A and B are shown apart, each in its own frame.
Chain A
Amino acid sequence: MSRATAPTTSPAPLSVRPAGHALFRPGRGSFLVHRRAVLVAVVLAVLLLAAVVLYLCVGESFVSPVEVVDVLLGRPSPDQLVVGTLRLPRLVVGLLAGVAFGVAGALVQAVARNPLASPDVIGVTHGAGAATVAAMSFGLASHTALPYVSIAGGLAAALLVYVFAWRRGLHASRFVLVGIGVSVALGSLTQLFLTKGDFLVAQQAKVWLTGSLNSRGYDQAAPLATVLLLAIPAALWAARAQRAASFDDDTAMALGIRLDRVRLGLTALGIVLASVATGATGPVDFVALLAPQIARRLTRTAQIPLLSSALTGALVVVVADLLARRLFSPVELPVGVLTAAVGAPYLMWLIARTRSRSGGTTS
């Protein structure tokens, strides 16, 4: 779907050191670092740290930052239950899911060169959702197997969209339309499974489906962390190759890069990450769409920065869940409600200011 759309930004000059970059030569290797990107990453990390502390402090009862640090360092504390048992596991799941959604969106958008091609739009989250609800409702998979069911569902949905959208090539607009259609179908299949299953299970599944961190814990964090540990290095490695492709396909080919394989690999990685995050938290809509876009605007780079996207994703999820918990207290909103309430208008704004020809591809 990417070849049809030329990048709208002009290619960076092929000088040894592009503007705004610093050259590092540690040992034998050498690599370019975008100065602004580093600055943004540092600022984001600081903000994320502040959000994490705030997240652990604020809740039905306020816990002072000093005591939070006590709990984190394992010192005996009266707030062990609230901070260590209730808030911390939930925060960890939120952080990991945010990183996964952010990186997933960055990978898919970078390959497609299209901000609208987020995992939400191409059916991944609905596929993961339908598979998980089916497994829950019919008792097909054990609790620990659910994350893998969800990955399988996400991959299957993406494959389905790919197959249906393929017709003498992959046209971006056809891809998006088919993605929306398949999402709707999977959404109603999910409804169907909900009505078929046991009532209590259906209620659990329904809460999960709104994208919530409520009562999430290390059970969900473990598979998420495992996948992230494997996927992030792979993504970083493949992104180097993708960067060469940002000039044009011929240059990349001359550099000996198998572009089609790199693209396929990056897309598959993005889909796996989005699916496993969905398995842990339920579909927290629009984080995968938003995070890379915010990161790209902050770093002002043509490529979508992986690190900043990951940090932004985590920041968005943590802040959104903090707001969702406190905004209407004592009632807690599912975090997915909040991200959709912010993300959907942003998507509409993106659509309204679209200038490119293929009706929805701007970068």
Chain B
Amino acid sequence: MARPTRRRIAWLVGCAVMLLIAVLLSLAVGSRQIAPGEVLQALLHGGTSDDAQVVRALRVPRTVIGVLAGAALAVAGTVMQGVTRNPIAEPGILGVSQGASVGVVCAIAFLGVHTLTGYVWFAFVGAAVAAVAVYAVAAGGYRGASPVKLALAGAAMNAFLASVVSGIVTTDAHALDEFRFWQVGSISGRGSDVIGQIWPFVAAGLLLVATMARGLDALALGDDAAKGLGHNVALLRVLGAVGATVLTGAAVAAVGPIAFTGLAVPHIARALVGAAHRWVLPVAALLGPVMILASDVLGRIVFPPSEVPVAVMTALLGVPFLIALVRRRTVVAA
């Protein structure tokens, strides 16, 4: 086996181990500290002790949702960066997550939708509309969608959608009541029924994206080169947009808007295994959950007894990353 491939496999295994550790920490750490042995005991043999109850009823659903959302957001970010050929593309920064939020708020306030399965579809629509709008705005004018224009268009879109959301919730008390629990990106308090409703969408999105790994590699070379290699560039873009929208919509519907996971993870993955998407995508799918779970665990222990929502933690961890990225000259010039 060639050396680069062996190194990539080593990183893949390493990331899987990290994910395992993150899962274990997420199950064991919290306001009630539970020893890893007890956790395993509760998972394998059940039991009726308080610890076992906490692990199975609260920590397991929370951890599984974290894994699903983390994988979905990281892979969505990878695809968006690949399709737009832009290093700062990410569901949170580009307003796609906020678009999904607006979809959910409208569903609650105007259409009386009250179930997660109902939310999901509106989250998809909102995410898609916001993604298309931001890209269209940024692509206008000189030089197309540069990082600065994408970031500004995304910031403007975020501000606009946030004002729409607060406009709706201040005029509709019922919507506010239902929405406020969901609005701050958090993976706590989401029951196991959420998992059952979300995983098919995440699986479908991941599968769709997996099939286009080689297409994304070709796109990285430029539209002309991709065409020369026999790829349908327009079709790739549409598929990529659909995949990113489904993944973002599902993640946001489940956990609320969480930014920066989709930004940081693809860059880390590329630094580890190179630019080829058939390696970057699986590594990102493993590291995304690591970031979400690690942020969540950190959020549980920084200010006991209260918990910091995971979205706050990922933003605080992600922003230094964005700044480091921006300070690298190549990115600004792109």
Contacts and interface: CB of A to CB of B under 8 A. Distances in A.
A116 B138 CA distance: 14
Interface in B277-334: 303, 306, 308-309, 311-312, 315-316, 319, 322-323, 326-327, 329, 332
A48 B259 CA distance: 41
A177 B159 contact: no
B115 interface: no
A357 interface: yes
B170 A337 contact: yes
B208 interface: no
B140 to A, nearest CB: 4
Q: Using C-beta atoms within 8 Å of the partner chain, give the interface range for chain B.
A: 35 or more
A333 interface: yes
Contact of B323 (A116, A178, A337, A355): A178
Interface in B133-147: 133, 136-138, 140-143, 146-147
Q: Using C-beta atoms within 8 Å of the partner chain, give the interface range for chain A.
A: 35 or more
A177 B156 contact: no
Contact of B151 (A180, A191, A195, A338): A180
B152 A181 contact: no
B142 A337 contact: no
Interface in B143-170: 143, 146-149, 151-153, 155-157, 159-160, 162-164, 166-167, 170
Interface string A313-357: 000000000000000100111101110110111011001111111
A143 interface: no
A331 B160 contact: no
Q: Is the interface of A mostly helix, strand, loop or mixed?
A: helix
Those 3 A-B pairs whose CB atoms lie nearest each other, nearest first:
A344-B160, A352-B140, A340-B163
B172 to A, nearest CB: 9
A359 interface: yes
Contacts of B33: none
B326 A348 contact: no
11 contacts: A165-B326, A181-B322, A191-B311, A195-B309, A336-B163, A341-B163, A343-B159, A352-B138, A353-B141, A356-B142, A357-B143
Interface string B164-201: 10110011000000000000100000000000000000
B88 interface: yes
Interface in A23-52: none
Contacts of B308: 192, 195
